[in-house]
Structure 1
Amino acid sequence: MAFASATFNGMTPLRIYNPVIDWKSSTTNLWIASFWELFLLFFGVMQNQLVDVFMVLYSSMLRAHLGVLRERVCKLRLDTEETEEKRYENLKICLAHHKLILEYVEIMRPLVSRTTFIQFLLIGAILGCTLVNLFFFSDFWAGLACVAYVIGIICQTFPFCYTCDLIMDDCDRLALAIFHSNWYNSSRRYKSTLIQFLHKAQQPIAFSAGSIFSICMQTNIKVAKLAFSVVTFVKQMNIEEKLRKN
């Protein structure tokens, strides 16, 4: 949409300095320079999508492992033909599975924290600038491109934030599954190990952005509110009028 609105207005989408092609000299050069900038746009968007999709895939795999573990916990001590020793071994396997999940989380936590922290900061700044451009400087076609871009920016961190909330809910369901499992007539050793398992499962798996922001839907909404605060600040300080004069 940015490409279409710019080229039909006789400009390139990004206004990038091009020492080879002078887009102002002819219509042909305008289209050539515009398609070159469109290629750069697609390349940047693809790189951005790889980062976003990676975190969503990672969190989805984590949820899948939590779901498999919860199903295994629900089946503990349901087989009447198993011995008590075998049942205790199955519980230890569930504990090992949960420990492996926690190790998986700790390995990936630094990458997720740094990437999402940078995303939150950039999204707040870019969203604020885009809304300022939309409300004060854009025409109809450029405004449509800005609206589409705003929706895309807001949705950039939405899937991962939403999945992080679901992961915390999965941890709660896992703890409930452990508590409601068939442990009533088990041995003292089994109950003691189950209590330790329940204590670890009650600690939710939560991610933070740079150890500052909690990665959740509430933070995603706060970032969007920050952009509207920037628009209000620009309007109250009459910055748009000063920019128009310049």
Structure 2
Amino acid sequence: MDAKVPPYMTHYKLYAPPFFNFEQNYFYFLIAELYANIGAEFAATTAVVMDFLGVFFFSMGAGLLEELAARIAEIETELKEKITIENRLKFHNTEKEHEDRTVKELKKCILIHSKIKKFLIAAQNLVSPIIFIQVVISTAVICMTCYTISMFSPADGASVFFRQITYMMPMGLQIFIPCYFGNEIMIAAEKFSMDIFHTKWYNGCKKFRTAFNTLLIHASQPMIMISGVLFKVTLENFVVISQLTYKFYAVMQNMNANQGLQSMKVEE
């Protein structure tokens, strides 16, 4: 079949307005084919990268906090060794060197914690608009899909019903995955704060206790990722969105049921 004979078919299924009939116009067909290939190969890749950008930064931040907590635990082990050294009546110079080493390591941990917070703030500022737009669009799509589902029963159109349900699943994942990893940061920060609070930091020297108080103050501040202005990227908000979506679906079902009853009364 000659490729320049209408109707022209693109490699991807496209929807176009009536005035842009690319199936009959070869020039429009070239534009549509170019748009389809660019959209599929570049725009789709960019969209996937943007979806996972926040997940990548959030998971990295949670991992860094867990690694820092393990480093603090090693310092606590050093403190226990200090007590053992004192009980064995080691030389004063050895104890002084041990104290300086623990204080130096603690100051490194304070600096690392400060850099992790700066990293998470920068990541939040970068991906906050992306996550907010993604959540708004996905929520709107889920609501409209629920409305479409409420228009008919599964028995009337099982294939359409199944297609709508499977279409909602990735939309839900686009909200759930960022919320899950944002929640992981909050949990990791809370666990880090509790772990260092229960550390036997009071066994250290005066310099160590002073530096540790600084770390306690910084760690006591919660780390909650925020998208947009008010939306907190946590599992709690994902549950709230799911509840609102279900309520919208229930309202649509009731409206359709009432319209069905009214139509039956009119026919009677």
Q: Matches of 2:207 and 2:243 in 1, distance apart?
A: 52
- Look up the match of 1:56: 55
Q: Matches of 2:177 and 2:54 in 1, distance apart?
A: 9
Q: Matches of 1:135 and 1:157 in 2, distance apart?
A: 22
| TM-score normalised per structure 1 | 0.77
In the alignment of these two chains, the number of paired residues is 220
Partner AA of 1:19 in structure 2: N
Asked if 1:151 corresponds to 2:169, the answer is yes
Name which of structure 1's ranges 45-54 and 71-80 shifts more when overlaid on structure 2.
45-54
- Look up the match of 1:21: 23
In the TM superposition, what are the counterparts of 1:18-167 in structure 2 within 5 Å? Answer: 19-21=21-23, 46-79=45-78, 80=81, 83-137=98-152, 139-167=157-185
- Look up the match of 1:189: 207
1:15, CA displacement in angstroms? 4.0
Q: Which digits, 9 at most, give the CA deviation of each residue in 1:10-50, with x for residues without a partner?
A: xx96643451216xxxxxxxxxx9xx979967876544322
Q: Which digits, 9 at most, give the CA deviation of each residue in 1:194-228, with x for residues without a partner?
A: 11201211212101121212111121122222223
Asked if the contact 2:179/2:234 (under 8 Å) is kept, the reply is yes
Q: Matches of 2:16 and 2:140 in 1, distance apart?
A: 21
Q: Which digits, 9 at most, give the CA deviation of each residue in 1:152-181, with x for residues without a partner?
A: 111112122111222111112212222233
Change (3 A) 1:152 1:140: same
Name which of structure 1's ranges 89-98 and 195-204 shifts more when overlaid on structure 2.
195-204
Q: Percent identity?
A: 22
- Look up the match of 2:5: none
One of 162, 177, 180 as aligned partner of 2:198: 180
Asked if the contact 2:150/2:256 (under 8 Å) is kept, the reply is no
Asked if the contact 2:225/2:232 (under 8 Å) is kept, the reply is yes
Change (3 A) 1:240 1:47: farther
Structure 2 gaps, min length 5 = 1-11, 25-31, 82-93, 261-268
Higher Cα radius of gyration: 2
Report the RMSD for the aligned CA atoms in angstroms: 3.1
Asked if the contact 2:57/2:120 (under 8 Å) is kept, the reply is no
Asked if the contact 1:162/1:217 (under 8 Å) is kept, the reply is yes
Partner AA of 2:58 in structure 1: S
Asked if the contact 1:55/1:112 (under 8 Å) is kept, the reply is yes
1:187, CA displacement in angstroms? 1.2
Q: Which digits, 9 at most, give the CA deviation of each residue in 1:69-114, with x for residues without a partner?
A: 1111001153447521121110000000000001111212222322
In the TM superposition, what are the counterparts of 1:199-214 in structure 2 within 5 Å? Answer: 199-214=217-232
Q: Matches of 1:153 and 1:42 in 2, distance apart?
A: 21
Partner AA of 2:120 in structure 1: V
Q: Matches of 1:45 and 1:149 in 2, distance apart?
A: 17
Change (3 A) 1:162 1:133: same
Asked if the contact 1:120/1:223 (under 8 Å) is kept, the reply is no
One of 168, 186, 189 as aligned partner of 1:168: 186
Report SS of the residue matched to 2:199.
coil
Asked if the contact 2:53/2:127 (under 8 Å) is kept, the reply is no
